[in-house]
Amino acid sequence: MASTLIIKDLHVEIEGKEILKGVNLELDSGKIHVIMGPNGTGKSTLASAIMGHPKFDITKGEVLLNGENVLEMEVDERAQAGLFLAMQYPSEITGVTNADFLRSAINSRREEGQEISLMKFIKELDKNMEFLEMDLNMAQRYLNEGFSGGEKKRNEILQLMMIKPDFGILDEIDSGLDIDALKVVSKGINQMRGEDFGCLIITHYQRLLNYITPDAVHVMMQGRVVKSGGPELAHRLEAEGYDWIKQELGIEDETVGQEA
C-alpha cells in the first residue's frame, strides 16, 4: 500500500530555543530520501520530533502520515500507525531480552488474537539475524545492554526488518561504524527497499551513499531544508563540501547554535 509522509512548516523548540524553523518535506513509500548537512543544523531534531521525543516542543506545523497528523498521537500510536525511528543512541534495557522485546513490538501492531506465532517469529528472527551477520545469541541478551556501538546499529536495523514499518527514519545509522558494519547495515536497508517502504536517512557522511542509492537528497541548514536534488547532489557535496550552498544562499553560519 502506497503511503505518504508530509512534513509541513514544522517548528520545534527545545528548552525555549527554536531548532527547526519551518521544515517542509514530502516523502512517498517506495523511495529513499536522504537528509544531509553539517553538524548542528537540526537534522536529528527533525527525526526525533517526528517520532515524539519528550524533550522537544512542537510550536507549529504538521506531520501527516497518510493524511493523519501524527503530532496529535502518543509515541506508541505513531509507531502503530507505521512510523519507525532508528535512534542514534538506542537505550539499554536490563532484564528485557531482545527477542521478547521484538515480539512485543510486532504484536503491538496486530489485533488481539492475531499475534505472530512463536515458530514464525523465531524463523524470521533467525533469518534476519543471519542476514545481518549477527550472533544468534544476541536474541537472548538484554536489549542493547553491553552492545558495542556497531551491534546497537545492527540491532536497530534488525528491528526495522522485523517490524516492517511504512516509513523508517534512520538517524545517523552510519555513525561510528567500521566499513564492514556499514556494508551490513546498508545491506539491511536495501533489503527493505520496496513499494511499501519509505525511508528517511539522516547522515552527515556521504560514504553511506556508496552503498545505498537515494532517490532524493535534501540539505538542511539553519533548521530548514535549503536544497533538494537527486543522487548527483550528494556527489557534489562529497566533492565540494557545503560552502557552495552557503554562498549560493548567502548563509554565513549554517547551524542553529546547538547540536541536538
Partner 1 sequence: MTTQIKLPVDQQTVEAFSQRNGEPNWLSSLRLDALAKAVDLPLPKPDKTKIAKWNFTQFANHTVDSTAYGSLEELPESIKSLIDVEKQGNLYIQRNNTPALLTLSEDLKAQGVIFTDILTAAKEHPELVEKYFMTDAVKVDEHKLTALHAALVNGGAFLYVPKNVEIAEPIQAVYVHDHPGAALFNHVLVVADDNSSVTYVESYLATDDVKESVVNIVSEVIAKQNARVVYGAVDNLSAGTTTYVNRRGIAGRDSRIDWALGMMNDGDTISENTTKLIGDNSFGDTKMVVVGRGNQKQNFTTNITHWGKNSEGYILKHGVMKDAASSIFNGIGKIEHGATKANAEQESRVLMLSEKARGDANPILLIDEDDVTAGHAASVGRVDPMQLFYLMSRGISQHEAERLVIHGFLAPVVSKLPIEGVRRQLSEVIERKVQ
Q: Would you say how long the chain is, in residues?
A: 260
Q: How far apart are the first and last CA of the chain?
A: 34
Q: Which stretch binds partner 1 (CB under 8 A): 28-36, 96-104, 205-213, 225-233?
A: 96-104
Binding mask 128-147 for partner 1 (x = CB under 8 A): --------------x-----
**Piece of the chain touching partner 1 by CB under 8 A; list 18-26, 74-82, 188-196, 212-220:** 74-82
Under the criterion CB under 8 A, does residue 114 sit at the interface with partner 1? no
Under the binding rule (CB under 8 A), the answer on residue 25 touching partner 1 is no
Element (H, E) at 139: none
> How many residues bind partner 1, per CB under 8 A?
27
Q: Does 80 bind partner 1 (CB under 8 A)?
A: yes
- Contact status: 163 vs partner 1 (CB under 8 A): yes
Q: What is the closest distance, in whole angstroms, from the C-beta atom of residue 61 to partner 1 in the complex?
A: 20
Minimum Å distance from CB 18 to partner 1? 21
Residue 206 CA to residue 235 CA, distance in Å, equals 8
251 contributes a contact to partner 1 by CB under 8 A: no
3-state secondary structure of 174: coil
CB 147 within 8 A of CB 131: no
Q: Is 113 in the site for partner 1 (CB under 8 A)?
A: no
Judged by CB, which is closer to partner 1: 16, or 54? 54
Q: Contact between 170 and partner 1 (CB under 8 A)?
A: no
Residue selected from 101, 131, 205, 211 as contacting partner 1 according to rule CB under 8 A: 101
How many other C-beta atoms are found inside a 10 Å radius of the C-beta of residue 43? 28
Q: Which of 32, 29, 34, 33 is nearest to 65 (CA)?
A: 29
Among 16, 67, 95, 146, which residue sits at the site for partner 1 (rule: CB under 8 A)?
A: 95
Three cell numbers written together for 64: 501527516
Identify the helix (H) or strand (E) that includes residue 177. none
CB 259 within 8 A of CB 39: yes
Q: What are phi and psi of 22, to 5 degrees?
A: 100, 70
Instruction: Write the DSSP string, 16-75.
Output: TEEEEEEEEEEEETT-EEEEE--TTSSHHHHHHHHHT-TT-EEEEEEEEETTEEGGGS-H
| Residue 52 in contact with partner 1, rule: CB under 8 A | yes
Give the binding site for partner 1 (CB under 8 A).
51-54, 74-76, 78-80, 84-85, 87, 90-91, 93-96, 101, 104-105, 108-109, 142, 159, 163
